[in-house]
């Protein structure tokens, strides 16, 4: 999803927002690898799920961040459900492993909500959007 959004921004000459979403995409890949390695350590079977190709029909920068926020909420819910299942099954190691993801999701939701709020203030003001684009580039260049 984040690669699709990055391409939307880059194609619309918002290079800073594009860089921001490229960074988000890389982080999501790292999160996936963390899960993969956990499964391998546990000798658990790996079965990749089909990937839903997101729409690229966004009508504004705000729409991109709103879609991202809603996506993060969906991911958070899936982790909560997995956490509950692990707890119900007595999989305490998995439960402990998932704590990192739950904290990460809280941060991801807050980050997307932060940018949505800024974009709601900016609306369609070109100067404000360009300013936020520069801020997004700075955020993309910051180390975690």
The pLDDT value given to residue 144? 57
Segment 66-98, tens digit of pLDDT: 999 999 999 999 999 999 999 999 999 999 999
What is the topology classification, in CATH, of domain 2-46+60-141?
A: Ferritin (1.20.1260)
Q: Which residues in the chain land under pLDDT 70? A: 144
The percentage of the chain sitting over the pLDDT mark of 90, rounded to a whole number, equals 88
The residues, ordered by sequence, that sit 6+ positions from 76 with a Cβ below 8 Å of its Cβ are 102, 105, 106, 108, 109
Element (H, E) at 116: helix 92-122
Q: Position of tokens 């959007």?
A: 129
pLDDT at 47 (0 to 100): 87
Give the HSE-up count for residue 85: Cα atoms under 13 Å, Cβ half-sphere.
Answer: 7
């Amino acid at each position: 999803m984040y690669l699709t959004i990055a391409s939307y921004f880059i194609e619309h000459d918002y290079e800073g927002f594009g860089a921001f979403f490229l960074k988000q995409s890389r982080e999501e890949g790292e999160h996936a690898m963390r899960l993969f390695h956990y499964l391998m350590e546990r000798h658990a079977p790996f079965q990749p799920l089909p990937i839903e190709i997101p729409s690229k029909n966004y009508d504004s920068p705000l729409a991109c961040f709103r879609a991202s926020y809603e996506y993060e909420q969906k991911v958070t819910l899936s982790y909560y459900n997995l956490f509950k299942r692990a707890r119900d099954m007595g999989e305490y190691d998995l439960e402990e492993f998932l704590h990192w993801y739950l904290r990460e999701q809280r941060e991801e939701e807050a980050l997307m909500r932060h940018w949505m709020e800024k974009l709601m203030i900016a609306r369609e003001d070109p100067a404000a959007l360009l300013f936020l684009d520069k801020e997004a580039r700075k955020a993309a260049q910051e180390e975690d």
